[in-house]
Chain A
């Protein structure tokens, strides 16, 4: 465990110059903290991408990795449901020319409802946790619940229950709901992690957190670090 901790600290430290932790490192950090992530690799060449996709099987997801691209969807840097090697090679060529390209994430497709799990170190209240309906429309629907961390199990349940989309999570019109116990546990682990990372970070977006009746996986994550000269205390 302490090895995991020091590795997590090392990931944060190494990202200081960029100001944020890129997706592959953020996912490693969440893995170290005990969260589930989809099988993925960071491919720097088309060959690496094709080999990995061949191993895990199609369809796959591909996402651009660049320290200069904070919102990948905005620049067309996310492709889902890639069906074969030809498609994957084509996506690699497209991503290669994007600003600051260092590689491409190739990842298994995980089914589930798209949630956002976030954290923010607030000036007045310190660490806060956010749960909401995720995906690219997150700022349109604004269906979110906010709490000051650390949260209790009661808080976690109230956050889930407070979402307008709550019925989607419990199973709506024949569609399967999510494992609420697993989601609750994910919220509680996230709260502990945020308390531990504390002042070193500015905010975290796990978007989407893909939840189904079988899993809750961190499908994308970014950790924005606090600028060195800023502190929360006045």
Chain B
């Protein structure tokens, strides 16, 4: 099945648009795509009428173009009929927004639409989902455009069993400046599920990192997922919910009791080098650093700061995650001291972390990062930047980002996230170095590079 029309439709039909109820979910979808996305949109409703001065077609057969993507937002019991009509009209794919299937006990209805789709090899997402979102391309979410936070175009594709988590994660991505390639909410995943989108994003050139929010897999589906993920050649990040043991299912063996559902899930993911995010903060941090650096590291970190406290917190966070902070050999320390500005030469602490003190200036950072990048013993640089130090300029981001890019050593920066430091932050990000807005977040980014073994 070809999933491309779900993400790159040229033509769209929205089933269920209403001529009278302007807040109907289908109307939102119709409006936003018509007004803001490069796609020809047609409304369909047997009652007819108009929407935005456009005629509402009484049936898909009246629509003058072949439709790439049907967005179905009609009552659940009407979905089988609509889907059958779509197939007859050679529609190429569908998103079924409607709820009212297995989640409310209507397994029969869900099985009917799956049977209809399978017979025609007709790809559809859902039911009970938000569907697809591609920045500046398509958006089938029924949420009013002005209420949503829209991430910039980027390299992360996100597959979520929950629509709510997906929308919320899009806000967090935006806050952290993480760009999105494609997103899909898969709802009841009646036909298309995690495995299908893993396959699709593995070959999608715009996708560099594949992220999942997973509640649970079907029978043996987890096995297939990890085997595929390991071979897909792109970092895979997973956030899992439902970690607490459900109910009091009696277990008769020690092994069954020790290998609970979540313990098994987590162990198998790490066995297959899939990066599991423990929470939303980790998910965003992991996606950000892995979309910048796909090459694995062993995790030997060189830290540069102008504050001993920041250095100490970073070392603690590194140590807690099993990252090493190796000391600097005598010859490196001597060379580095010679390259520092006169005001810090005698007061800087040239251990690891290197503490340039509050007298440090841009060139001292440059010299230190150059030293780190030249060391075999260090495979990642953590720059803790406090832009309120008088000697640091807004140009430092671009300078350090450039050095890291030249040397090939990953560099991750911590800069407090406030408007006035935006130019410093962009200097890093536009030069390929991710920026975290907490020390912990920066260390998480380093950890992601170590845990990704692909």
Binding site for B on A (CB under 8 A): 20, 70, 116, 118-120, 122-126, 128, 130, 132, 138-139, 142, 144-148, 155, 202-205, 207, 222, 224, 231-234
- Quote the shortest CB–CB distance from A195 to chain B (angstroms): 12
Could you tell me if B220 and A126 are in contact, using CB atoms closer than 8 angstroms? Answer: yes
Q: Which residues of A contact B80 (CB under 8 A)?
A: none
Could you tell me if B220 and A118 are in contact, using CB atoms closer than 8 angstroms? Answer: no
Closest-by-CB residue of A relative to B256 is A203
Q: Which residues of A contact B226 (CB under 8 A)?
A: 125, 148
Closest-by-CB residue of A relative to B263 is A146
Q: Which residues of B contact A222 (CB under 8 A)?
A: 253
A–B pairs, 6, beta carbons within 8 Å: A118-B254, A119-B255, A120-B253, A122-B264, A205-B255, A232-B219
Q: Would you list the 10 A-B pairs with minimal beta carbon distance, nearest first?
A: A118-B255, A124-B222, A234-B219, A146-B267, A203-B253, A124-B217, A125-B222, A234-B218, A148-B268, A233-B219
Closest-by-CB residue of B relative to A199 is B220
Q: Which residues of A contact B218 (CB under 8 A)?
A: 124, 234
Known: A146-B264, A146-B268, A148-B271. A202 touches B259 (CB 8 A): no
Q: Which residues of A contact B268 (CB under 8 A)?
A: 125, 128, 146-148
Could you tell me if B258 and A118 are in contact, using CB atoms closer than 8 angstroms? Answer: yes
Closest-by-CB residue of A relative to B255 is A118
CA A18 to CA B263, docked complex, whole Å = 29
Could you tell me if A202 and B258 are in contact, using CB atoms closer than 8 angstroms? Answer: no
Closest-by-CB residue of B relative to A117 is B255
Q: B257 within 8 Å of A by Cβ?
A: yes
- Quote the shortest CB–CB distance from B221 to chain A (angstroms): 6
Could you tell me if A120 and B259 are in contact, using CB atoms closer than 8 angstroms? Answer: yes
CA A225 to CA B252, docked complex, whole Å = 11
Q: B261 within 8 Å of A by Cβ?
A: yes
Q: B75 within 8 Å of A by Cβ?
A: no
CA A202 to CA B221, docked complex, whole Å = 18
Candidates A122, A138, A234; contact of B258 at CB < 8 Å: A138
Q: B88 within 8 Å of A by Cβ?
A: no
Candidates A124, A145, A202; contact of B261 at CB < 8 Å: A124
Could you tell me if A139 and B254 are in contact, using CB atoms closer than 8 angstroms? Answer: yes
Known: A130-B258, A234-B218. A124 touches B253 (CB 8 A): no
Q: Which residues of B contact A119 (CB under 8 A)?
A: 255
- Quote the shortest CB–CB distance from B191 to chain A (angstroms): 14
Known: A118-B253, A138-B254, A203-B253. A130 touches B259 (CB 8 A): yes
Could you tell me if B253 and A205 are in contact, using CB atoms closer than 8 angstroms? Answer: yes
CA A234 to CA B189, docked complex, whole Å = 14
Could you tell me if A207 and B254 are in contact, using CB atoms closer than 8 angstroms? Answer: yes
Known: A125-B268, A145-B267. A120 touches B219 (CB 8 A): no
Could you tell me if A155 and B271 are in contact, using CB atoms closer than 8 angstroms? Answer: yes
Could you tell me if B267 and A205 are in contact, using CB atoms closer than 8 angstroms? Answer: no
Q: B265 within 8 Å of A by Cβ?
A: yes
Closest-by-CB residue of A relative to B219 is A234
Candidates B216, B223, B256, B261; contact of A148 at CB < 8 Å: B223
Q: Which residues of B contact A232 (CB under 8 A)?
A: 219-220
CA A156 to CA B258, docked complex, whole Å = 18
Closest-by-CB residue of A relative to B267 is A146
Closest-by-CB residue of A relative to B214 is A124
- Quote the shortest CB–CB distance from B150 to chain A (angstroms): 34
Q: A124-B219, A128-B267, A234-B220 are in contact. List 16 more A-B contacts (CB 8 A).
A: A118-B253, A118-B254, A118-B255, A120-B255, A123-B219, A124-B222, A125-B220, A125-B265, A126-B223, A139-B254, A139-B258, A142-B258, A146-B259, A202-B256, A205-B253, A205-B255
Known: A116-B255, A130-B255, A203-B255. A124 touches B216 (CB 8 A): yes
Closest-by-CB residue of A relative to B226 is A148
Binding site for A on B (CB under 8 A): 216-223, 226, 252-259, 261, 263-265, 267-268, 271-272
Q: Which residues of A contact B219 (CB under 8 A)?
A: 123-124, 231-234
Q: Which residues of A contact B267 (CB under 8 A)?
A: 128, 145-148
CA A202 to CA B261, docked complex, whole Å = 14
Q: Which residues of A contact B217 (CB under 8 A)?
A: 124
Candidates B220, B256, B272; contact of A233 at CB < 8 Å: B220
Could you tell me if B253 and A224 are in contact, using CB atoms closer than 8 angstroms? Answer: yes
Could you tell me if B252 and A224 are in contact, using CB atoms closer than 8 angstroms? Answer: yes
Could you tell me if A125 and B255 are in contact, using CB atoms closer than 8 angstroms? Answer: no
Could you tell me if B258 and A124 are in contact, using CB atoms closer than 8 angstroms? Answer: no
Closest-by-CB residue of A relative to B253 is A203
- Among A126, A132, A148, the most chain B Cβ lie within 10 Å of the Cβ of A148
- Among A122, A138, A222, A224, the most chain B Cβ lie within 10 Å of the Cβ of A122
Could you tell me if B259 and A124 are in contact, using CB atoms closer than 8 angstroms? Answer: no
- Quote the shortest CB–CB distance from A142 to chain B (angstroms): 6
Could you tell me if A204 and B255 are in contact, using CB atoms closer than 8 angstroms? Answer: yes
Closest-by-CB residue of A relative to B257 is A139
- Quote the shortest CB–CB distance from A205 to chain B (angstroms): 5
CA A202 to CA B263, docked complex, whole Å = 17
CA A147 to CA B267, docked complex, whole Å = 6
- Quote the shortest CB–CB distance from A21 to chain B (angstroms): 12
Q: Which residues of A contact B259 (CB under 8 A)?
A: 118, 120, 122, 128, 130, 144, 146
Could you tell me if B256 and A124 are in contact, using CB atoms closer than 8 angstroms? Answer: no
CA A148 to CA B264, docked complex, whole Å = 8
Closest-by-CB residue of A relative to B272 is A148
Closest-by-CB residue of A relative to B271 is A147
CA A118 to CA B259, docked complex, whole Å = 9
- Among A70, A125, A205, the most chain B Cβ lie within 10 Å of the Cβ of A125
- Among B253, B257, B267, the most chain A Cβ lie within 10 Å of the Cβ of B253
Q: Which residues of A contact B252 (CB under 8 A)?
A: 20, 70, 202-203, 224
- Quote the shortest CB–CB distance from A186 to chain B (angstroms): 16
Closest-by-CB residue of B relative to A204 is B255
Could you tell me if B256 and A120 are in contact, using CB atoms closer than 8 angstroms? Answer: yes
CA A232 to CA B252, docked complex, whole Å = 18
Q: Which residues of B contact A120 (CB under 8 A)?
A: 253, 255-256, 259, 264
CA A155 to CA B264, docked complex, whole Å = 15
CA A76 to CA B259, docked complex, whole Å = 26
